[in-house]
Structure 1
Amino acid sequence: MKAASPPTLDSPPAGAERSARTAWAFALLGTVQAVLIFTLAALAVPLPRIGAEYGLRRADLILLNSAYGLTFAGLLLLGARLVDRHGARRVLTAGLLVFAAASLAAPFAPGYPTLLTARFAQGTGAALLAPAAMGLLRALFPDPLAHGRALATWGGLSLLGATAGTLLSGAISASVSWRWTFAVPLLVAVAGLALGPRLLPATAPPPPHEKRPALDLTGALLATSGIILASYGLVLTDARAWSSAAVLVPLLTGAVLLGAFLLAELRAPDPLLPPRFLLRPRRALALAAIALTATGTAITFLLLSLHLQQVRGWSPLENSGAFVPFAVALLCSSRAAGPLIARRGTVAVTATGLAVGAVGLALLSATGLDPELPYALGLLPGLVLLAAGAAAAFAGAAVLAAADVPPRQTGLAGGVLNTAMELGPTVVLALLLTFGGDARPLAAAGAGLGLTALGITTLRGRPHRLRSPSAARRTT
């Protein structure tokens, strides 16, 4: 008997077939988004082994670990504009090709320069993929209610990817080799290239009667150069003093370029990042929540991984196992976030998630780095609360950040959301390195989450519940 083939886009499907294709398409896009963040975290645990194999200095390891994030964050706004200008599916295909080629080259790297170049190239592909995936999400769920529910799930995928990166990279590097960690992004990229044309909706650039958004090369060059240089300067603070030329030159140059970018955007007829897009209090606070939640989890992964391996003497595999309860709590909270938003609204869920995450970070700062306390008493409670709160905060904030965005700016929304997710940890991680490896950064991140929760509770207007139109009419 002939096996059934996946649904295609040759003819409009109906009923159950349409629902099945939508579910498969969402699963594909969600997997791509999660793997982008998985790739960001994948080298953190096996980094010491890579350094020993290649004979690298600490500064080389820092740059290797940050290279992916530098180009990812730096090119996101340009990737977003390409999505809005040329269509999400075209840009997704281009991003998958770049991402797959880089992921294939990395494990065969004979030396540090090749591996570093591959990491930069992976980040370039990711900067195209992230906004394209969000653009396709809008095309896949054109109904506002369905799109809001999809965004609520989407918000937790990045945290899930980061957690999977920490869990799997330790297990893979302990059992075989760190080079096999690149098999995950490679397989997902190949699957995306094979299944995308059959599952994903076709998206096209604006029709001829509508004006295409300008590419804004000046703004793209200033933003990309500024973000990369400033982030690179911050990354170097681990190995160099803040007053050294190696830190000050890229840091100040990047700051000047970003200032020039803001001035250029105010004058540009079709700016890469319209200032009004960020000035809405609801969106600004949502982006702050995303940045701070990503920062809190990144700090937790880094500090606890260093503590468990260097202070407690745990193996990379044991280190990964310590985060299994975090992953379980994250999955449970992500699953509950959508229904909670439907009943309580995005503001309430986001603020509550931030508050719970703040309590988790406070517990970790108080007891998490105490080597005298057992794992179940010192680390576990804070990890579970942080995961539960972060997943809810991400889900609600993703819906808030993308609310009321017109279809022609879906790529921009995806680019800005992912930029907040990438730049937050980069900036605060540099401050963490200044403080040192104690628990103070955890307490500071918890305070930031708490203050943002208070800010979000002051938002006025509709609660942005995910309701059907008929339910909305019954409540008026």
Structure 2
Amino acid sequence: MQTTKRNLNKAFALLALIQATLIFTIVMIGIPLPEIGVEFGIHEADLLLASTAYGLSFSGLLLFGGRLTDRFGGRTLLTIGLCLFGLASVGAALSFHFSAMVLMRFLQGAGAAMTAPAAVAILRHLYPEPEDFMRAMATWGGVSVLGGGVGFLASGVVTTWISWRWMFAVPVGVALMGLIAVAGFLPKAAQSRPSVQSGLDLIGAVLATLGIALGSYGLIASGEFAWSSPGVYGPLLSGVALLSLFFVVERQVKSPLLPPGFVREPYRIVGLMGILLASASMGLVTFLLSLFLQIQQHWTPLETAGAFVPYTFTLLLMNRAASGIVSRFGPLKVTCFGLLIGAAGLAWLAGIHSQIEYLSGLLPGIVILTTGTSMMFAGAAVLSTMHVSPHQAGLAGGVMNTSMELGPTLGLASLMAVAALAPDVVRGYSLAFGTAAGVYLVAAGLAWFLTRDKLLQTDTVAADKVQ
């Protein structure tokens, strides 16, 4: 049966919902963490495991998930990933011991690491024409951050009125919907698969997974412990060593997990940099402003969640406009302008102080930053998947999502280290926002340097080169 336009739209909507849910699942227990600690009777520092278990396995296994997708096909990996993701979500909701919950969160992340690149690979087959794929990826770029915004809002509402355990109903329901679609209309639209029959580079997979996971854990732990603590520098140094060995191994094997030169293409460098910085700034603004409103301003969790309604609404509006904006101006210009607008929003938020008003002092910066980062996500998602043939679509999805996952970890840890240099907490927030604005400006300059010849052209030519 041919793929009709209606089925194509249904398939895209379903895959976008799955991608949004994968990011939703990262942030959905952020606000209820204190309540989780009370229920399980654990110390605040131990909550770090509950908060990070999902993200560590998700980010660490994405490259391998991409490789598996290119080896066995998007439909197969999507099915396996959704089964593991859904079952682990049920297990997390029903966990009555803290260790069991951490394990289930880890397995959720493993399922997500197979699901995310598989979804991108299926999209590549659903939209074989370069221009159609560009429009799809422009919308796809904003879907992830929208999932994070909705997750943040939902966690405040559910925690206040029901129970944090009900948050897991969302990933369970979406996993079931995805599996039903795989058994129904989705396989008709994604029958073909890349014929990659080479090895899987298991050594590279182990090194990359452990390196990313350990390094990420060390960065996350720096928010709870001093950099001189063994719990911080131990994982960090181990992660750096393993990743260094990974890049050495990749030059020796016949079928590398990450082929040399794959991420050195100028467009892909700008795209991955844009995704990393956009996700980092979104993680920064939700984390710092949540702390500021609840601790400094004494807002309730529900009031804090409500403060991010304009944030989520802006994401929704920009996501709807993303495809048209990228088609009109080209992904490169949209990414670069997004960097400049995002820098302006961060600079505004750098004016934060203990007596600041939400409506006049914080809201404009939130809206400006969200507008810029939405443009970055839209343009960068296209740039990250340009010049990618169908047999590497899973790899491209894995690399793109790895950048998205590392953004909040690397960015937040680095900026919180900067914030610690200030004499008081709120001034530290200001310093972190100001530093992030400077990084955005430097990144815009680097993007211009790498692609200055193309920026002087129409830039829509770039979109036509997607293969």
Residue from 63, 68, 74 that aligns with 1:77: 63
- Contact in 2 for aligned 1:81/1:213 (Cα 8 Å): no
Q: Which residue does the alignment assign to 2:74? A: 88
Note the alpha carbon deviations across 1:371-414, whole angstroms, 9 max, x for none: 32221111100010111111111000111111111111000100
1:57-456 equivalences under 5 Å are 57-200=43-186, 201-207=189-195, 212-367=197-352, 370-434=353-417, 435-436=419-420, 437=425, 438-439=428-429, 440-456=431-447
3-state SS of paired residue (2:205): helix
TM-score by length of 2: 0.93
- Which residue type is aligned with residue 455 of structure 1? L
User: Displacement of 1:205 after TM fit?
Assistant: 4.5
Q: Which residue does the alignment assign to 1:23? A: 9
Residue from 12, 33, 48 that aligns with 2:2: 12
Deviates more, 1:183-192 or 1:338-347: 338-347
- Which residue type is aligned with residue 406 of structure 2? L
- Which residue type is aligned with residue 92 of structure 2? A
- Contact in 2 for aligned 1:85/1:212 (Cα 8 Å): yes
Mapped to 2, the partners of 1:386 and 1:280 lie a distance apart of 27
User: Displacement of 1:325 after TM fit?
Assistant: 0.6
Instruction: Structure 1: state its 5+ residue gaps.
Output: 1-10, 470-476
Mapped to 1, the partners of 2:40 and 2:96 lie a distance apart of 9
Note the alpha carbon deviations across 1:239-262, whole angstroms, 9 max, x for none: 332222222222111111100000
Q: Give the number of equivalent residue pairs.
A: 450
Deviates more, 1:192-201 or 1:109-118: 192-201
Amino-acid identity (%): 44
Q: Which residue does the alignment assign to 1:6? A: none
3-state SS of paired residue (1:58): coil
- Contact in 2 for aligned 1:81/1:215 (Cα 8 Å): yes
RMSD: 1.6
User: Displacement of 1:75 after TM fit?
Assistant: 0.2
- In the superposition, relative to structure 1, how do residues 454 and 193 fare at CA in structure 2: closer, same or farther (>3 Å)? same
- Contact in 2 for aligned 1:88/1:203 (Cα 8 Å): no
Mapped to 2, the partners of 1:128 and 1:380 lie a distance apart of 37
3-state SS of paired residue (2:359): helix
- In the superposition, relative to structure 1, how do residues 43 and 468 fare at CA in structure 2: closer, same or farther (>3 Å)? closer
Mapped to 2, the partners of 1:371 and 1:52 lie a distance apart of 29
Residue from 18, 31, 36 that aligns with 1:32: 18
User: Displacement of 1:468 after TM fit?
Assistant: 9.8
3-state SS of paired residue (2:2): coil
Instruction: Structure 2: state its 5+ residue gaps.
Output: none
TM-score by length of 1: 0.91
Note the alpha carbon deviations across 1:261-296, whole angstroms, 9 max, x for none: 000011111110012001112211210111011000
Deviates more, 1:127-136 or 1:340-349: 340-349
